[in-house]
Structure 1
Amino acid sequence: MKIRDTPEEWDVVASKEHFGGRVIEVRTDTVRMPREQVADRDYVVHPGSVAVVALDADERVLLIRQYRHPARHLLWELPAGLRDVQGESLVAGAARELAEEAGYRAETWHTLVDLYTSPGMSNERIRVFLARDLTKIPEGENGFVHQHEEIDMPVEWVPLPDAVEKALMGMIHNSPAVAGILAAYAASVEGFALLRPADAPEE
C-alpha cells in the first residue's frame, strides 16, 4: 500500500452552524457513513495558517513566545499567522508574518511540512515553511503595530539541535513549532535538498 493521504469527502446530509466568530465557526455535519449509517460530527471551521522555521547561517531557529489563552500558557512558537489576506499566496503570507512578528526577511524559501492541527475536531491546515538567508528589517521600516498577545513578544535564537531536544523533552508544546523543528532537523541531514519548493501545491 502506498502511504499517502488522499482527499475524500463523504456525503453530508445535513449541516448546522452553532457559532460564527471573528476567525472560526463551529458546525455539526450529519455524515453518511459506510453501510448507510449516519453520524453527527462536530468541528471547527478555520481559515488555515502558515508558520516559518527561520534558520540563520549558524543553524539557529528563531522562536517567539506568545500567550495562548485557551492553553493558559506562554508558548514558544514559530512566527505564524492566519491565511486571512484574500489572494495572498501561502509563501507571501509566511513572509509577511516573519516580517511582522520577528522583523526579518528571507531570500530562500522551501515548503517544510504540511499539518492538520487536530483533524478530528478542526479543518485547520498549517503549512510550515523553511526560511533561510535572513536579513534584519531596519528599525522603522516594518510599519507593523503589535497588538494584544503580540505586544512585547520576546525573540530567541536557539541552535536547532537544542530546539529538537527541548521539543523531545516536553519543553516546547506548540504543534507547528514541534513539527517544524523536527522536520528542519531531519531535512538538514540531506542539506535540505529533498524539500519541496515554496509554491508546492497542497494535497
Structure 2
Amino acid sequence: MNNTVKDDPQAWSTLGTNYLYRKPWLTMRQDTVQLPNGRVIDDYYIWEYPPWVNVLAVTPEQQFVLIRQYRHGIGRVNYELPAGVHDKQGESLLESAKRELHEETGYGGGRWSPLLELSPNPALQNNITSTWLAEGVELLGGQQLDATEEISVHLVSLDELRSIALDGSMLQALHVAPILKYLLTKKH
C-alpha cells in the first residue's frame, strides 16, 4: 500500500548527528535537522533500538499462548505476547520470533505468517516491531529463560484473549494492537 498523499509533508534533512550514549540496550543520539521550510532544529533526540518481534501463538486446540512477567518501568505484572529483540547477527525476523516463542514458552512449530508491523514511537524511536501469527504451535519442551527473566505461561481461550486485550490486563500497546487486528480480521 502506498502511503504517499499528494500534499504530504516532506522529509527532514539531517545536518549532523552526535551520539550521546551507546550501550547494547540503550543508544541515544542528538540530530541537527533542517525542515523543508528551512528551519533548523539543533537538538532533536532519537532513541535507537534494534527491531522487536512479537508472536501471537495459537495451539491446535485454539488456545492462545500468553505470558506474564514483571515490568519494572511500570512496576506491574501483566499479560503479554511472547516477544523479544532481534539482536542475533544473521538471524531473520521470523527466526528471531520463533526463537523468542520457544525460549519464553517452550512452544514452537506450526504455520507462521506476518501479522502486523508497528512503530513503537515514530517521533522518537527508530525501530519497528514485527508481529507474527503462529498457528498450530505445540509444546516442544521447557522454557529457556535468561537469568533475569521470570515468566509464567498461560493458555487462554479466544474469549479470554478478547477480555485480556480489552479490560486492561494487557497494557503493552504493541501487543494489544496485533490481537485487535486478529480479532477484527479472523472469522470466529
TM over 0.5: yes
Q: Considering only aligned residues, what root-mean-square deviation do their CA atoms show, in Å? A: 2.1
Cα distance in 2 for partners of 1:118, 1:169 equals 23
| Identical-residue share of aligned pairs (%) | 31
String of CA shifts for 1:2-59, please: whole Å, max 9, x gaps: 76379x7531112111111221201111111021111132120001111100012333
Residues 138 and 162 (structure 1 numbering): CA distance in 2 closer, same or farther, change over 3 Å?
Answer: closer
More moved, 179-188 vs 88-97: 179-188
Name the SS for the 1:36 alignment partner.
coil
Counterparts of 1:163-182 in structure 2 under 5 Å?
Answer: 163-182=161-180
Q: Which of the numbers 7, 26, 42 marks the counterpart of 1:24?
A: 26
Matched, 1:58 2:61: yes
Contact 1:24-1:47 at 8 Å conserved across structures: no
Report the TM-score when normalising by structure 2: 0.88
Conserved in 2, the CA contact under 8 Å of 1:102 and 1:155?
Answer: yes
Residue 86 and residue 37 in structure 1: after superposition, are their counterparts in 2 closer, same or farther (change >3 A)? same
After superposition, residues 184-195 of structure 1 pair within 5 angstroms as 184-189=182-187
- For residues 171-194 of structure 1, give each alpha carbon's deviation from its aligned partner in whole angstroms, at most 9, with x where no partner exists: 2111222012112212312x8xxx
Query: 5+ residue gaps in structure 2?
Result: none
Matched, 1:36 2:35: no
For the 8 Å contact 2:11–2:35, the answer to whether it is kept is no
User: What is the Cα deviation at residue 86 of structure 1?
Assistant: 0.6
> Given the superposition, is the C-alpha separation of residues 145 and 168 from structure 1 closer, same or farther in structure 2, using an over 3 Å criterion?
closer
Number of aligned pairs?
183
Q: Secondary structure at the match of 1:124?
A: coil
Report the Cα offset of residue 135 of structure 1.
Answer: 1.6
Please, which of 74, 81, 86 is the counterpart of residue 84 of structure 2?
A: 81
Partner of 2:154: 156
Aligned CA distance change for structure 1 residues 155 and 145 (closer, same or farther; 3 Å): closer
Q: Which of residues 83, 98, 102 is equivalent to 1:99? A: 102
Contact kept, 8 Å, 1:161 with 1:185, in 2: the verdict is no
Give unpaired runs (5+ residues) of structure 1. 192-203
- Equivalent position amino acid for 2:115 in 1: L
- Is 1:13–2:15 an aligned residue pair? yes
**Aligned equivalents of 1:53, 1:95: Cα separation in 2:** 11
Map of 1:71 onto structure 2: 74
Q: Provide the rounded CA distance (Å) in 2 between the counterparts of 1:110 and 1:163.
A: 19
